[in-house]
Structure 1
Amino acid sequence: MTELLNGIPLLTGWAAPTAWALTVLVVTLLGWTRTRHLGAAGRAAVLGGGPVVGLASWVAVDVVWRPVADGLGWFVWLWVGIVALVVLQAVVVPRRSRAGRRRRRLDGALGSLAAVAAVLVAALLAVNAHFGAYPTLGAALGLTVESGTLADLPQSAPESASSRPPGPLLASWTPPADLPATGQVVEQAIPASDPRFAPRPALVYLPPAYLTADRPLLPVLVLLAGQPGEPRDWFTAGNAQASLDAWAQRHHGLAPVVVVPDPLGSNTANPVCSDAHLGNVATYLQRDVPAWIEQNLQVDTDRSRWAIGGLSNGGTCALQVITRDPQAYHSALVLSGELHPTLGTPEETIAVAFGGDADAYADNDPLTLLGRRLYSGTAVLFSAGVDDETYLPAVQQLEAAAKAAGMTTELRTYPGGHMWSEWATAFADQLDWLGVRLGLTS
């Protein structure tokens, strides 16, 4: 069943047209069977009710609550309004049902449920296609990630750091007979030292070379998802394991050990990746996570072979980490990062996250930090979608500031906008750059 669900594509050209066609069909049928018998006022109430619900939801979530700094976007609220319209149509009792026959009332109820279910599926298909999120139905259901635990893995005695020959690891590594074809993902809690911050479990990708009896000391990549989001997103929507396995197959089983911790705490939380009123997330990523990695994984502890990366909110966070503490990680991937850490506006961010302390905000703002000091030995690969009208200009400005601050930088663009399909493509493409930076390849 898992293989079957993983084989059902959601991002091919049929998804969006099918969603719209199904919705038009349902709205038309309900209009004919339910609302055409209403008076003009009743029809207006039903037809106007959907847009009103969509608009009210937008105000309540994106304007008042604001769990996501940039909002969920007009496309989401358009579909909320469409679903609300169908619900209103579906609850109208057909005239013939008022005659009193139980079977007709049951048929009407089942028809209403089927109509609402069909449009909910259409809405999910359309929104998924709009954001380029889950490539298959299995990915949407989280079935592409089969995770174990570290306790399931055999212990091994890795080579010592002093015995590693100079130069790229690929030049001196001989793949053993027990090298598996693919890596493995494990789920693991990485606790925070600050009790105010409760991160969700992390996912760890261990490449094929790590799973051998005489594993080499591999470099480390820490990846961060966006907001709203969770660590699993990198492996479902981001296709990270497949990209890493493919890269490892081309390099005799070698790839970074990839740790995907949670810098948020929940889908609706945004502690702006800082030691602030919302929890000490900076300490978590710069101290707690590296300490856990060194204590629990057999990896190269030379931080010049460690990198951090992220997308959107996570890309901003990765740049915050490397500008605050360039010794923690020496390389970074910033995919579609924001210009500033934000809860909506600078004033709101300073007030809510930093208790009104503008200096504390500046100490956690990468653009400000890049203007204050010079960074040597640090490299950042910036990227964004060519259609991302908001984040591409931000990434361009950040890349220019990082270059001026002495960082080794590169800027790449990819087809698409602010969506997972673009980030998955970018990550797979950027593994070669990482391989050189992390000492795996020349």
Structure 2
Amino acid sequence: MSDGVVQLLRQVRLLHPWMGPACLGAVMAVAALVWLTRTRHLPWRRQLAAPLSGAGIGVACWVAVDCLWRPFADGVGATVWLWVGLTATVVVQVLLGGDAAADRARVHAHRRRLVRAAGSGGSITATVAAACLAVNAFFAAYPSAAAVLGLGVATTPLESLTAAASLPRHPERGPGVLEETWRAPADMPDQGAVVTAAIPAGDQSGTAGFQPRDAYIYLPPAYLTPQRPALPVLVLLTGQPGSPSDWFELGGLKDSLDAYAAAHAGLAPVVVVVDMLGSPYRNPLCADTVRGGKVATYLERDVPAWIRSHLQVDDDAAHWAVGGLSNGGTCALQAVSRSPQVYPTFLAMSAEEHPTLGSEQRTLEVGFGGDRAAYAANDPLSLLAAAPAGRYAGVAGVLSVGTGDSRYAQVVPTVADAAMRAGMTVTEREYPGGHTWAVWSVALRDQLDWLGRRLGITG
């Protein structure tokens, strides 16, 4: 696809305050038009079949996905099923279309049949499009048409980016903060680069195995110079369902980091967004289990080892952090509570109190095979409560949530209290919004200054 088309698609913005109400109004208009032109002459019992069928389909989908299959701990959400029901209502309404004799009497010419078919297809297409746009707006997901097609951010394989090639000498960090010792060269690029790379899991023998998807990596402008400084590292996680690209396509990560780097002489953390799911429909609970594979080992051993061997960054773990949102925020808490020596700094956005598959009983039985000790060994609150004095000395993080996220807002004070009792230093922050990217993208942008001071970029 040409650059011009991609740029045009990026200008088609999909997130507006009026998007949800506008889509609802559009669907109501389509339903009214179909009723006027297609179904108003039908017996009332037959007309009633459309809304009843729509409601039944919405409920059936909810039962099948959120109650029986349960791929997501929190469920898909009532908003999605409401739009499934509305869409199904219009589709059934179109299919009813009156009795056969009346149809033949009104539609006797080839051209009229084509017009009728086009009207039916247009009604269904408009309804499906409105439903998708409304659900997207509710979750504040894809910001543009380009993001829907995976074209929101340009990427290149790590090995193909010449400016990211290893320098003969590994960068060394001097005393003090980087902003005071680093001098940006005149030919430093204005923006950072986004690259992709496969970060394989290590030995998975004896388990069902864990096969992570490719990581997405942000390299700041300072990294892309021959005078490369020893930059800190942020390992970032997404939610479930999700993929590593979400932080860039949905969360505006590159724009936020480029803005931070522009204000600090090209300096910013090297951000490695890794996969801790293997699939949008799996939740391996960020743990080493027979069911999900060795995800904890992957995040706390394999990923750091790969970063140190493939990227020229600060080797000192004191300048490393882990962060994530929702399921990934819980995973960040798990990683720092299990391995504070690997990640002594964390950002947990809209995190849960415990790893979960929907309920503690189901998590214990399905996720950990009934092994309560294994569950406790991967539960942040259990680990924090049982920690010996001094285990979390020097560990610090930010716990954040949306003000409208009632389910997760109550988690923050609980986790903060447990973390501080265990010896961590914790900051709590709130942002306007719910459990959506509209909160998480703003939260990361806001927390970069704190993170930069914590990781030694600024004083």
* Range into which the TM-score falls when normalised by the shorter chain: over 0.9
> Are the counterparts in 1 of residues 377 and 383 from structure 2 also a CA contact under 8 Å?
yes
Equivalent residue for 1:187, pick from 186, 190, 196: 196
Amino acid paired to 1:439:
G
How many residues in Structure 1 have an aligned counterpart in Structure 2? 441
SS in 2 for 1:185: strand
CA contact (8 A) 2:239 2:325 kept: yes
**Which residue is 2:27 aligned to?**
23
Aligned pairs for 1:41-440 (under 5 A) are 41-94=45-98, 96-99=102-105, 100-154=108-162, 155-157=165-167, 160=170, 163-195=172-204, 196-277=209-290, 278-373=292-387, 374-440=391-457
Which deviates more from structure 2 when the two are superposed, residues 182-191 or residues 10-19? 10-19
| TM-aligned CA deviation for residue 14 of structure 1 | 2.8
Aligned residues of 2:344 and 2:396 also touching (Cα < 8 A): yes
Deviations 1:205-227 (A, max 9, x none): 10101111221111110000000
CA shift, 1:33, in A, is 1.6
Gap runs ≥5 in structure 2? none
8 Å contact from structure 2 (residues 42, 98) kept in 1: no
Matched-pair contact (CA < 8 Å) for 1:97–1:105: no
1:332–1:381 Cα contact (<8 Å) kept: yes
TM-score normalised by length of structure 1: 0.97
CA distance in 2, matches of 1:340, 1:231: 22
In structure 2, the residue corresponding to 1:390 is in which secondary structure? helix
Distance in 1 (CA, whole Å) between partners of 2:226 and 2:13 is: 37
Moved more, 232-241 or 149-158: 149-158
Q: Secondary structure at the match of 2:243?
A: coil
AA in 1 matched with 2:413: Q
Letter in 2 for 1:144: G
Partners of 1:15 and 1:432 in 2: how far apart?
Answer: 32
1:173: how far off?
0.3
Contact 2:144 2:152 survives alignment (8 Å): no
- CA contact 1:159–1:214 (8 Å) conserved in 2: no
CA distance in 1, matches of 2:416, 2:64: 35
Shift of 1:158: 6.8
CA RMSD of aligned residues (A): 1.4
Gaps of 5+ in 1: none
Preserved CA contact (<8 Å) 1:15 1:125: yes
Of 7, 14, 24, which aligns to 2:11?
A: 7
Per-residue deviation, residues 291-345 of structure 1 (Å, max 9, x unmatched): 1101111111111100000000000000000000111111000000011100011
CA offset digits 1:388-423 (Å, max 9, x no partner): 100011122111110111001100000111110011
State how far apart, in whole Å, the 2-side matches of 1:150 and 1:9 are.
Answer: 29
- Structure 1 residues 332-376: Cα deviation after superposition (integer angstroms, max 9, x where no partner): 000000111000111101111111101100100001111011411
Alpha-carbon separation, structure 2, partners of 1:55 and 1:427 = 36
Q: CA deviation at 1:159?
A: 5.8
Deviation at 1:165, TM superposition (A): 1.8
- 1:217 counterpart SS class: coil
Sequence identity (%) = 53
Deviation, 1:6, is 1.4
Distance (Å, rounded) in 2 between the aligned partners of 1:327 and 1:211: 29
